[in-house]
Amino acid sequence: MKKIAIIGLGIIGGSICAALTKAGYAVDGADIDETVVGYALGKGYIRGKAEDISVYDVVFVAAPPRATINILDSYSFKNGAIVCDICGVKQEMERVVYSRARNYRYVGLHPMAGKETSGIASASADLFAMANLVIVLAEHTDEEALNEVKSYAKAMRFGKIVECSAEEHDKKIALTSQLAHVVSNAYVKSPQVADCDGFTGGSFQDMTRIAGVDEDMWTELYFHNRAYLLTELDGLITNLEKYKSALINEDENAFKDALKEGRLIREKIKFKKK
């Protein structure tokens, strides 16, 4: 049986451990916080502590961007090992990995799953059930490694698997993840938010659900994807100005047109809710 290690036991790394262990794989884990490793051991998510990464056949790196870059660039891996990162930006990861010859086979992953909470205590063997998974491909991607990674994805019960380039990934994620978190975070800064008890429903809950980002990790993500996020922010601001202008000018028709435009676009969007 392949020896698998997960570096970084937050909600995603911990859930990878839990899901693969549940599927019958032998999984070890590593984290800078020893109490987190102890928690994973106590919950049965991992078999043991991963210390010498160079003995593992498969390594999942579930760390913030800068830490992930350091691991991909400087750790000693087993010859021919499959090394996957789950970072939310991919062009920078590929730039580092392919900057020189490596003795490992790299496959970039991005599980489109999570919760409003973070950390190992929020991990679950079922977190990825029917969730989307993005696999990033490059001309250097090893076909055998790719197929093996897909077998792990199946074991973790991912739903739809999308394959794309690092560039396409980063463009799409700027909209579907990063902009959404920025908007939610900005939305809760209204002075009225502190006194809304009894006035909230689904709309408010949806808008505020992802406002509580980890500012250290997410700032790293945003700045590694700065150009694409700026493009999406500019587009959003331009569209918001249409609504603002219509209100200022008391132009109901312009406001209706803006709303109608958004409604028609929304009706064409095809996606599945988890």
Determine, yes or no, domain membership for 92. yes
Same domain, 68 and 83: yes
Number of domains the chain is built from: 2
Q: The tokens of 1 are what?
A: 């049986």
Looking at residue 115, its pLDDT comes to 79
Question: Which range marks the domain in which residue 37 is found?
Answer: 3-164
Q: What tens digit of pLDDT does each residue of 103-147 get?
A: 999 999 999 998 777 899 999 999 999 999 999 999 999 999 999
Same domain, 184 and 134: no
Same domain, 184 and 155: no
Looking at residue 271, its pLDDT comes to 65
Q: Which of 122, 145, 164 is where one domain is finished?
A: 164
Looking at residue 273, its pLDDT comes to 52
CATH code of residue 59: 3.40.50.720
Q: Which of 142, 164, 186 is where one domain is finished?
A: 164
Q: Is the pLDDT of residue 272 over 90?
A: no
What's the rounded mean pLDDT across residues 70-87?
98
What's the rounded mean pLDDT across residues 76-103?
97
User: What is the per-residue DSSP string for 11-73?
Assistant: HHHHHHHHHHHHTT-EEEEE-S-HHHHHHHHHHTS-SEE---GGG-SEEEE-S-HHHHHHHHH
Q: What tens digit of pLDDT does each residue of 140-180 get?
A: 999 999 999 999 999 999 999 999 999 999 999 999 999 99
Q: Which of 164, 195, 216 is where one domain is finished?
A: 164
Predicted TM-score (pTM) of this structure: 0.92
Task: Work out whether the CA dihedral 87, 234, 207, 135 comes out positive or negative.
Answer: negative
Q: What tens digit of pLDDT does each residue of 8-34 get?
A: 999 999 999 999 999 999 999 999 999
Determine, yes or no, domain membership for 249. yes
Determine, yes or no, domain membership for 273. no
Among 39, 85, 23, 38, smallest CA distance to 59 is for: 85
Looking at residue 266, its pLDDT comes to 93
| Pairing, β 82-85 against β 26-30 | unpaired
Same domain, 190 and 230: yes
Same domain, 154 and 113: yes
Looking at residue 150, its pLDDT comes to 98
